[in-house]
């Protein structure tokens, strides 16, 4: 662990070594040697990828961010009074602008004590911490820089006041179904008896509307998708030609998830220098880069139950596009 900052109000710890990072090399080695090639979506998010994602959130067709914000604005006071939360732990905190809506509600309720932002990006955690201590009087911040698939046990123990652990944006939908339940179970270990999980999930709806959100005419999502190839080129000394791959997004009705893929427009032979690995793509071969599951209330409830949690609240936006649910550790 590296202590990055330690003042009266802010403590930031990093659990990522610069070399190990997000385990890119091992994920590439696994994913590109399979019969159906696949990469985990977490590698989209270098600086450029995070910028592209922010642009996606502003696209007219990408409804999840706006819908979730609408729910937060509508329901934050109720969520805070329901939970009595004095501490907010946010997994994948990013720029913390959603957190602000919850922190405001906690400040109004007079319970606000501590914010624990958890993110892979050191810069993101630093910036959020610096800004928020100035904005909220008496707020303590304990930032954790890490990968929440591996470093969840580094979240500091909860204090005396009830804790709200938030996983927003629909990120839980990016995990395959078994891993998703395993993740929820691990997150459950952060909860004491009075604590709650606040989970954001995109909802099942007209497939055309979902597909439009992942295949914008401006091509921002396509660039975001291809960005993973730029990341591999830079980090692992590879020679992908990103322009030789086209962006695909389709809703899989059986599994009720969106899939993003990159399809080779011609045969490609790629050298991953750092791994001494040569990877062949046939013309038309597809590489799966992301699934993003869409939920019903029953599906969220079943996942909670399989993970030792129980649903305690369900909030949607006016158009029922997106949901926030509250869960507690099952007795
Ligand atoms: C990271 C879950 C917010 O799955 O919708 C956006 C990522 N991918 N457009 C999602 C994403 C393509 C996004 N989340």
- Locate 29 and state its tokens: 């080695």
DSSP 95-121: T-HHHHHHHHHHHHHT---EEEEEES-
Residue 292 Cβ < 6 Å to ligand 1: yes
The SS3 call for residue 290 is strand
CA of 9 to the centre of ligand 1 (A): 32
| pLDDT value of position 57 | 96
Cβ–Cβ under 8 Å, residues 44 and 231: yes
Q: Is the CB of 214 under 6 A from ligand 1?
A: yes
CA-nearest residue for atom 4, ligand 1, is 292
Q: Label residue 43 exposed, middle or buried (CB < 10 Å: 0-12, 13-18, 19+).
A: buried
pLDDT at res. 78? 97
Helix axes 177-188, 297-306, angle to 10 degrees: 60
SS3 286: strand
- What are the backbone angles phi and psi of residue 210, rounded to the nearest 5°? -65, -45
Is the shortest distance between the CB of 325 and ligand 1 below 6 Å?
no
pLDDT per residue over 174-217, tens digit each?
999 999 999 999 999 999 999 999 999 999 999 999 999 999 99
Paired strand residues for 252: 257
Q: What is the mean pLDDT of residues 141-150?
A: 92
Q: Tokens 């809703």 label which residue?
A: 251
Alpha helices, H only, the chain: 24-31, 47-58, 64-83, 97-109, 122-135, 177-188, 207-213, 220-236, 297-306
Q: Report strand pairing: 196-202 vs 322-329.
A: antiparallel
Reduced to 3 states (helix: H, G, I; strand: E, B; else coil), residue 302 is helix
Cβ atoms < 10 Å from Cβ of 141: 22
Task: Decide: 64 in ligand 1 pocket, CB within 6 A.
Answer: yes
Ligand 1: nearest atom to the Cα of 249: 12
pLDDT at 121 over 90: no
Share of the chain above pLDDT 90, in %: 88
Euclidean distance between CA atoms 72 and 220, whole angstroms: 26
pLDDT on residue 22: 62
Question: What is the Cα–Cα distance from 107 to 330, expressed in whole angstroms?
Answer: 29
pLDDT single digits (tens) 243-290 = 999 999 999 999 999 999 999 999 999 999 999 999 999 999 999 999
Ligand 1, atom 3, residue with closest C-alpha? 169
Q: Whose CA is nearest to atom 1 of ligand 1?
A: 171
Residue nearest to atom 10 of ligand 1 (CA): 292
Q: Determine the pLDDT at residue 19.
A: 58
Q: pLDDT tens for residues 12-71?
A: 999 987 655 668 999 999 999 999 999 999 999 888 998 999 999 999 999 999 999 999
| Residue 28 DSSP code | H
Nearest protein Cα to ligand 1, atom 12: 214
Q: Which atom of ligand 1 is nearest to the CA of 258?
A: 4
Ligand 1 atom with minimal separation from the 65 CA? 3
């Amino acid at each position: 662990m590296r202590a990055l900052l330690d003042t009266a109000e802010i403590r930031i710890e990093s659990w990522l070594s610069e070399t190990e990072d997000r385990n890119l090399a091992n994920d590439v080695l696994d994913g590109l040697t399979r019969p159906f090639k696949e990469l985990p979506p977490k590698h989209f998010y270098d600086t450029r990828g995070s910028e592209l994602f922010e642009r996606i959130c502003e696209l007219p067709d990408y409804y999840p961010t706006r819908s979730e914000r609408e729910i937060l604005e509508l329901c934050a006071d109720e969520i805070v009074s329901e939970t009595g939360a004095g501490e907010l732990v946010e997994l994948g905190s990013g720029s913390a602008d959603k957190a602000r809506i919850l922190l405001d509600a906690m400040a109004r309720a007079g319970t606000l004590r501590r914010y624990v932002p958890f993110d892979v990006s050191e810069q993101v955690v630093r910036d959020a911490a610096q800004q928020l201590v100035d904005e909220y009087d008496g707020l303590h911040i304990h930032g954790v820089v890490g990968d929440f698939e591996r470093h969840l046990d580094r979240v500091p123990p909860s204090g005396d006041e009830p804790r709200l652990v938030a996983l927003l944006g629909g990120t839980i939908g990016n995990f395959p179904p078994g891993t998703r339940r395993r993740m929820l179970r691990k997150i459950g270990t952060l909860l004491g008896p009075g604590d709650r999980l606040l989970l954001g999930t995109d909802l099942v709806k007209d497939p055309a509307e979902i597909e439009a959100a992942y295949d914008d005419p401006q091509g921002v999502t396509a660039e975001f998708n291809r960005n993973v190839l730029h990341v591999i080129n830079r980090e692992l000394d590879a020679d992908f030609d990103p322009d030789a791959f086209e962006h695909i997004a389709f809703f899989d009705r059986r599994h009720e998830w969106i899939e993003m893929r990159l399809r080779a427009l011609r045969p490609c032979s790629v050298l991953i220098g750092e791994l001494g690995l040569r990877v062949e793509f046939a013309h038309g071969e597809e590489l799966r880069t992301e699934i993003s599951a869409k939920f019903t209330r029953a599906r969220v409830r079943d996942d909670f139950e399989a993970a030792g949690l129980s649903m305690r609240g369900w909030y949607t936006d006016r158009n029922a596009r997106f949901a926030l649910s509250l869960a507690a550790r099952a007795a």
